[in-house]
Structure formats: C-alpha cells, structure tokens
C-alpha cells in the first residue's frame, strides 16, 4: 500500500463506529497487513501482548483501554517486558475518545482525539514498510487532498467515460484545476465567506446530484463574467457574489461532467478539507498522478523534496543572491539594485512537470525580496517579481495546468506571508491571462520562443553620478531581460529503455552533432538544448540526472562536444540517492550538474562536504583530465587483460556435468578434450560447466564419439545459418571456440558485470587449462599481485567512474577500466607484499569452502577474516600510492586522476601503437 491508500484506510476506520475488540486488527489491516497475518494475531499464535492488547513483533503494541486511562496505559505499554522483548517500534493506546502513541525509536509522541488520528498517519508509515521522511508528515494535508481528489476523479470517469478519452482529457484536467482553485479560494478568503463554494453546491444542488453539474457550471460562468455584466447574462442571484477570476482559468467552455450521488458526496468531502494547508511545493507533483493511470498505483509518492530541489537552485543562483544581500547590508541603493536585479531574473524549467522547481525558486526569491523591503522600510510594497518570469515546458496537459495553478497559489501565499492578508486579497484577483507554462514537447520546441532574450534591462541606481559599478557583468546583461537560469529534473531513460520516439528525438537533437549519439541517455537531449541556449544567451543551467552521464563510455561521446562550446561545469553534486517515499523506497543514483560559462570558484558537493576547486571535469573530479579514452594496452606496468573466449557455438561445445560424465564413461581418455568452463555466473555462483576444447591434433580422436560428432555438426549448422559474417568464417572450425585463450599456470577472472552492493569486485583465481567465456575478462598466466590491484577498493572506485554502470551494476571493461588504471612504479617488495595480500584473500576464501563467491561477498554476511584480508590489501596498496590510507573515495579518485594525467602524458596515444608496458610481466 502507498501512503495515499493508507491515509484513506485509516480515515475510513476513524469514521466508523468504534469497536474496541476489532480496532487493533482494523488498524493493522489499514497499514497493509495481510489477512493471514491478522488471522494469526487473532488466534494468539503471533500475539505477544502481556497486557491483553495486540502485540506484533518488531512492529507495534496496541491496547484498547477503559475510558480516561489512555495516558496511564501508554506508560504501561512502554514499560511492558513484552514490548521490549518483541522489539516493538510503536506503542498505541486508545479508548475510542482519546488516542496516544509513541515512536519508541525516536521518542516522538502524538496525543489527539480519536477522530483526528488520521491527521497523523505519516507517523505510522514505517508499519507499512515505508521509511517515512519529514516531508510526508509535514505534508499530510497534501496527501489527504490527493486521495480525496483521486476518488472524485475516478468516480466521475465512471459516470462520464467519454471525459477519460484523449479528446476530452483536456476538459477533464481543466475542470479538476478549476475545482482545486475554488477549494483553495474559499478557505483563504479569496471568495467571500469560508467554505462558500462548497456550501453553495451543497445548498443549490439536489441530493440525488441530478443538477450538480449545472450548479458548478453556473459558478464557473460567474467567475468568468465581469460583475456589471452578470445580471444581463442571466447569472442567478445565488452566484452573483462570487468574484471575477478569469485569468484563462475559467474562460472557454463551462461544461461540467455529470455527478452521481457518490461523486457529489466525494466533492463535498474534498471541499470540507482545510485548503489553507495546501503546499504548492509538492502538491502539484502528487496531484498530477490523478490523471495518469500508470502513476496512480504510487499516488502521492513521486515528488521531489524541497531539500533536493535546493541542491540545484542554491548553487545555481540563490546563494549568490543571499551573498549579495549580505554585502548590501542596510545600504538602500545597494538593496534597490539587488531588488531590481531579482525582478529581472527568469527561471526556466523545460521539463517542469507540475512546477516544483519553479515554485521553490519563486518562494526563495520572494523571501530575499521581502528582506530587502524590510531593510528599506517598505514592507508593504508590492512584489516586483512576476510569476510570468517562471517559465516552463511540460509535455502533458494536466501537469502544465497544475504548474500554473501552483505558482498562482504560491504568489498568494507569499503575499499573505510578507505583506499581510488585506493587501494580498486586494491585489490577487483578477488573475492575469498570461500563459507562461507551455504544453508541448521540449525537444521539438525552440526554447528561445518560450523564454526569449528580450525585455527591459536593469538600470543601476547610484549614490552619485561619479560612481562606477565594479562588476559590470551584473548590470549590462547580455540577455536584455536579465539573467536566465535553466533548471529541472528531465527524464533520464537509458539506451535500453528508450522508445522509438525517444530514439528519434535523440537523433533530432544530437544526431548531426555528436558521433555515436544513439548510445547516449535521453537526458543528454536536455543538456544539449540547454547548452545551445546558454551559448546564445550566456545563461547558466543545472539539471538532476542519473550518475551515468558522468561515468563510462558516454563521457568521451558527449562531453568534449559540450566543452567545445566554451561551457564548463561550475558546480556538481556527486552521486547521491534520489528516493521517493514508495513502500519499496525505489530510488536512483543521481548527480546534479551546474553548467554555464566559466566562473570561479567551482564547487563540488560530496555528501555533506563542500570543496572549492579550480576545475571540474566530466567525471566530477577536480582533475584536469577531461576524458579517459579506451586503450589497447595497459598504461601502467600491468599484465595484459583479454576478453574471455567468445564461443560462437550455439552452446553445442558447452557441456553439463552429465554430458561430461557420459563422455568419460564412453572413453576415459576423452578427459584431454574436456575443460572446466567459467564465465562470471560460474565462478560467482559456484556453478559447474564444461566445454569441448579440441586442438587440431585431437580432432580425429574427438570425432570417434558420435556425441561429439553431433555437437560439432550443430556448431557448423549454427555458423552457416548465422547472419554474422564473422561466424560464417568459422564454419570450417566447428570444433573450437572463436577465441582460443588458455593459461598454463593460472587464470585470474573478473566479471563483465557485477552487483553494486558488493564492496569489492569479485575476482577468481583458477588453475591453468581452464576455459573462459566472454562473460568475464581474464589475465592469463599473470603474476598473482595483479589480483591484489584488481580486487582493491581503489580499482572499484576507478571502474565505477570510468567504465560506468549497466543499470546500477558495475560494468567492467579491459580497454577502459584496466588498461587506463594508473599504478605507481612497483618495486619488487611492493609486488611481494601484494602477492601475499592476494594469497591471504584466497586462503580466507578457502577457509569457508564450499561457500560461493556470492555467499562470501554478500555485504551482510561477509566473513570477518575475509573482510580483514581485503582491508589489509587495501592498506598495502594505498600506502604505495600516498603513504597512508585514503580518507574516502573522493580522495581516491582525485589521486587516481592526478596520476593518470602524469602517466598518460608520457605514454603512447590512447589508440596508437602497442605500449611497451603491455606485455605480460
């Protein structure tokens, strides 16, 4: 269950007659407990309560008590030995009139009347496996309103199915936006009399709802008609006192869908909520899911939190405004200049959704402007920041409507906060008719047409005519309309998940500019269009993206092209988890990139750390290295790494254990043409496979077996029928894999793809004459100390950055990860020490035989001796680099890129002739 569904369930529970014996089970059921779980609690099989209540282990202890004893019983629950023994996270006591609960982990408590406990549903969300965050508790109203509106929306579509079709979807969305505005307006005194809109519908519409649509349509028509024209146009007396709103919100058709009795009831229920509590910061993102069938399952979950939005906005421009405010002090001229500057700033979100970024930017700027006005002694002055300076593009119709509405609501709330209710009401209506949120495809729209570089420039105010501004860039804007900042959270979409239309749009935006653009994430289209806009208007932009844009093969494909425009990364948030509040807490690893014309200082944010640097490269480090390119041989004195052997055999040369046993039973001498076979799955999971490995001199011997002959015939047929000419060329060699790499002493294997949850790259050491597949990379007969480097934390950090990831898993590459890995010159003692570290790791693994690599490297169950062996390996290697352990991965990356720069400067070109260090050593 998601938070909206939980809120609805407990609201229904609170509205039902209180039944003491049933309440604990109904409460648990509201938070998603299955019927079998409830049944076991009822039977006492899993109920551990020692107070006659209901105790669910590791969850909650609930007690229904006598009237007036709630506080005492909550204390009894807290001191109960069973509560402690069962590791309950919550305790709850109620008598049906009062309601008290405590979170035993945080110590937070709630106490309220029973009927009001749904207001605190966010407090209990961990019971449903939802890791609650502060925003979900603070914005309980937004979730409740979303739930009610969703029920109304679904019910209306039942009675008016044509309103759910593509042809009427816009009308339905417009109707919902109008309702939201009216609910807000009636509770904030924009309409005369609190609840006037809802009360009028309740009074004037019949209980059977037969004329509800007509009553609402009449109210909408009144709000779109000037007062002096209402009598002439037949507006009835009961609607005549509603204010003239217009602003395009009520223009056009006033048609309203028909209501059933249930839909009318839902409408009145929604209207009776306290809409003064609406938070436009997140409400829009939640409400937009109402009209999206595929999003309704996680209704109310997908919104971007204010702290995450501020990670984008603060370093982009907000912090600079605050710094200028600090510098201005109480100087009225300096404050006036800053206010005029702010009034000309435009914020543009080309994937604005329901306007989260625009709303937060507006509220932050209004806060700074209000402080300016306070210092200048002008607290009542009207804001000079027009909401039309907050531009957006949104593909879907309803979010675009909601974005405009969210900004209108934010403007009113800011006026009330900073100027007072009286002035806010006096100047709020009528709404402006400007349409500053464009509904359309941002990748097919000229952004300059949405946010053109025209307008009135800022005029500097000086204390005397001889004063000359020191920072002319702040005054003589290249963009006549002032500064423009582009921001947002565009759709990411990796190559594997792109639709045909998205692939076509990548070709449209990047196809003629960037070679191999088809390999890029979809989000690069927004980066490219923003870069073009910045190139022409000198604006700066910042986007939230997946961390894949700063990793792996996408860097050499795109970033040199962007840097060629003269743009640079001015700030960056390194990889962090961008999670929503769904019960599975799904999230994606993201970065924030602030790009524009070069400025100093450049800032890197890493967790809670802030670093000022002179340069930020595409890998989000301070190194001068812009791109790490693939190399055919190692840049350092490391052993040659090969791709595993590509079979190209249709699995006919691959043997199961039973196949192997059958052949050996037929002739034990066939053992010489059978090898154990390993790819990543085999050595990580401990799977046993074999293969036919037939040298030319053994071919006739092997063909003595009818089983082998059938297998070779199968290989020949597969290769003949293949559409791949390289397989066709192998048709006369059906007894062999395409590749024939084989060690005599030992093979070190690294997986092509590995889980990101592992703390170390899982690496195997196998005996000589072991077959390998193309699902792994291999070092054949390499000195053992190479494994110490391969399985180190240093190397894992490098490949995570340089090779990138497949989805969230580590993706390995010999040419990009191993061959580029910078290693200091190793002494013989260094090699001996690393060899010993490798042996210790292998011995620790052997100690836990038959545990698999997957078992041993599960972070939750990794054996202590194996972890210690790896830790020792890391310490030995890192001391070779800097004489001590690195403090964190940031320091590791900085050192690696610095060393890479030095080694690459003296090495052969990345794709040039073989480097002399490439030989096995």
Identify the CA nearest to 414 among candidates 359, 340, 342: 359
- Check residue 443 and give its pLDDT: 95
Tokens standing for 840?
């210790």
CA distances from 183 to 156, 213, 274 (A): 18, 16, 9
- Check residue 582 and give its pLDDT: 35
Segment 259-282, tens digit of pLDDT: 999 999 999 989 988 888 777 766
Q: Which residue has the tokens 């812009």?
A: 626
- DSSP-assigned letters across all residues of 13-51: HHHSPP-TTTHHHHHHHHTT--HHHHHHHHHTSS---SS
Identify the CA nearest to 459 among candidates 368, 341, 543, 577: 341
Query: Residue 819 has what DSSP assignment?
Result: T
Tokens standing for 256?
């309203």
Helix, strand, coil percentages, rounded to 5, for the chain? 50, 15, 40
- What's the whole-model pTM score? 0.76
Q: Which residue has the tokens 């944010």?
A: 605
Q: 242 and 105 in contact (C-beta within 8 Å)? A: no
CA distances from 195 to 124, 183, 259, 276 (A): 31, 8, 20, 11
- Check residue 826 and give its pLDDT: 97
Q: 770 and 675 in contact (C-beta within 8 Å)? A: yes
How many CB atoms sit inside 10 A of residue 599's CB?
13
Q: 410 and 363 in contact (C-beta within 8 Å)? A: yes
Q: Report the distance separating Cα 411 and Cα 434, nearest Å.
A: 15
CA dihedral 87, 88, 89, 91 (to 10 degrees): -150
- Check residue 89 and give its pLDDT: 92
How many CB atoms sit inside 10 A of residue 391's CB?
21
- Check residue 807 and give its pLDDT: 58
Tell me, rounded to whole angstroms, the distance of Cα 450 from its chain centroid: 27
Q: What is the torsional sign of CA 612, 618, 624, 630?
A: positive
CA dihedral 348, 610, 138, 391 (to 10 degrees): 0
- Check residue 286 and give its pLDDT: 59
Residue stretches of the chain with pLDDT short of 70: 1-2, 130-141, 247, 281-304, 454-481, 578-587, 804-808, 908-921
Identify the CA nearest to 546 among candidates 584, 514, 583, 593: 593
Half-sphere exposure in the Cβ direction for 264 (13 Å, CA): 22
């Amino acid at each position: 269950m998601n938070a909206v569904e939980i809120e609805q369930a407990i609201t229904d529970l609170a509205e039902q007659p209180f039944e003491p014996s049933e309440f604990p089970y109904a409460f648990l059921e509201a938070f998603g407990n299955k019927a079998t779980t409830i049944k076991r609690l009822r039977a006492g099989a899993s109920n551990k309560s020692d107070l006659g209540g209901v105790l669910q282990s590791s969850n909650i202890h609930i007690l229904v008590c006598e009237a007036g004893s709630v506080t005492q019983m909550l204390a009894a629950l807290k001191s109960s030995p069973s509560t402690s023994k069962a590791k309950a996270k919550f305790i709850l006591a109620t008598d049906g009139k009062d309601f008290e609960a405590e979170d035993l982990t945080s110590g937070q408590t709630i106490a309220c009347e029973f009927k009001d406990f749904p207001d605190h549903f966010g407090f209990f969300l961990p019971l449903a496996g939802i890791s609650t965050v502060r925003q979900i508790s603070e914005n309980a109203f937004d979730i409740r309103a979303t739930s009610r509106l969703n029920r109304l929306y679904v019910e209306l579509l039942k009675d008016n199915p044509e309103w759910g079709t593509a042809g009427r979807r816009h009308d339905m969305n417009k109707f919902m936006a109008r309702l939201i505005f009216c609910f807000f307006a009636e509770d904030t005194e924009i309409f005369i009399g609190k609840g006037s809109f809802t009360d009028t519908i309740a009074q004037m519409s019949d209980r059977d709802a037969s004329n509800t649509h007509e009553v609402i349509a009449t109210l909408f028509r009144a709000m779109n008609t000037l007062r002096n024209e209402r009598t002439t146009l037949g507006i009835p007396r009961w609607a005549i006192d509603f204010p003239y709103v217009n602003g395009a919100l009520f223009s056009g058709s006033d048609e309203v869908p028909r209501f059933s009795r249930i839909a009318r009831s839902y409408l009145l229920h929604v209207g009776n909520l306290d809409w003064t509590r609406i938070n436009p910061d997140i409400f829009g993102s939640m409400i937009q899911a109402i009209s999206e069938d595929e999003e309704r399952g996680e209704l109310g979950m997908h919104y971007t939190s204010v702290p995450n939005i501020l990670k984008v906005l603060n370093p982009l421009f907000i912090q600079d405004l605050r710094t200028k405010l600090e510098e201005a002090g109480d100087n009225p001229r300096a404050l006036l200049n800053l206010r005029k500057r702010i009034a000309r700033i435009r914020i543009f979100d080309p994937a604005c959704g329901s306007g989260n970024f625009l709303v937060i930017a507006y509220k932050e700027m209004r806060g700074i402007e209000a402080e300016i006005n306070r210092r200048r002694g002008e607290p009542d002055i009207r804001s000079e920041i027009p909401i039309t300076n907050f531009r957006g593009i949104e593909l879907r119709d309803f979010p675009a409507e909601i974005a405009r509405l969210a900004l209108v609501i934010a403007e009113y709330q800011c006026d009330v906060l900073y100027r007072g209710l009286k002035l806010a009401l006096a100047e709020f209506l009528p709404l402006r008719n400007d349409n500053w949120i464009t509904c359309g495809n941002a990748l097919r729209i000229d952004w300059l047409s949405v946010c053109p570089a025209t307008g009135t420039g800022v005029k500097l105010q000086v204390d005397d005519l001889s004063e000359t501004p020191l920072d002319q860039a702040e005054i003589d804007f290249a963009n006549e309309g002032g500064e423009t900042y582009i921001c947002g959270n565009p759709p990411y979409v990796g190559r594997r998940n792109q639709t045909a239309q998205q692939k076509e749009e990548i070709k449209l935006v990047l196809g003629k500019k960037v070679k191999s653009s088809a390999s890029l994430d979809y989000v690069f289209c927004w980066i490219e269009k923003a870069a073009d806009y910045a190139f022409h208007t000198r604006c700066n932009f910042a986007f939230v993206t997946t961390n894949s844009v700063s990793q792996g093969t996408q860097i050499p494909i795109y970033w040199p092209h962007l840097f060629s425009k003269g743009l640079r990364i001015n700030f960056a948030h390194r990889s962090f988890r961008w999670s929503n509040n769904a019960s599975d807490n799904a999230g994606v690893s993201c970065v924030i990139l602030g790009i524009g014309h070069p400025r100093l200082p450049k800032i890197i944010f890493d967790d809670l750390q802030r670093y000022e640097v002179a340069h930020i490269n595409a890998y989000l480090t301070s190194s001068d290295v812009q791109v790490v390119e693939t190399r055919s041989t190692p840049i350092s004195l490391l052993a040659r790494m090969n791709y595993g052997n590509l079979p190209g055999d249709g699995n006919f040369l691959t043997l199961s254990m039973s196949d192997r046993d059958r052949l050996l039973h037929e002739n034990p001498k066939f053992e010489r043409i059978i090898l154990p076979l390993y790819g990543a799955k085999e050595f990580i999971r401990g799977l046993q496979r074999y293969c036919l490995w037939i040298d030319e001199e053994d071919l006739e011997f092997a063909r003595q077996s009818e089983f082998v002959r059938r297998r070779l015939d199968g290989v020949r047929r597969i290769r003949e029928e293949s559409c791949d000419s390289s397989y066709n060329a192998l048709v006369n060699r059906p007894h062999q894999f395409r590749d024939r790499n084989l060690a005599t002493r030992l093979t070190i294997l690294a997986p092509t793809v590995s889980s990101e949850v592992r703390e170390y790259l899982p690496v195997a050491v196998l005996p000589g004459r072991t077959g390998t597949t193309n699902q792994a990379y291999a070092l054949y007969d390499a000195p053992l100390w190479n494994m110490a480097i391969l399985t180190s934390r240093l190397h894992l950090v490098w490949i995570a950055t340089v090779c990138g990831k497949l989805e969230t898993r580590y993706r390995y590459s010999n040419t990009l990860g191993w061959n580029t890995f910078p290693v200091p010159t190793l002494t013989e003692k260094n090699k001996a020490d690393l060899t010993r570290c490798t042996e210790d790791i292998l011995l620790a693994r052997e100690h836990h035989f038959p545990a698999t690599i997957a078992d041993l490297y599960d972070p939750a169950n990794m054996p202590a001796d194996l972890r210690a062996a790896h830790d020792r390996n890391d310490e030995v290697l890192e001391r070779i680099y800097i004489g001590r352990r690195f403090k964190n991965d940031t320091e590791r990356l900085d050192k690696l890129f610095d060393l890479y720069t030095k080694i690459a400067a003296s090495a052969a070109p990345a794709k040039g002739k073989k480097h002399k260090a490439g030989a096995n050593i």
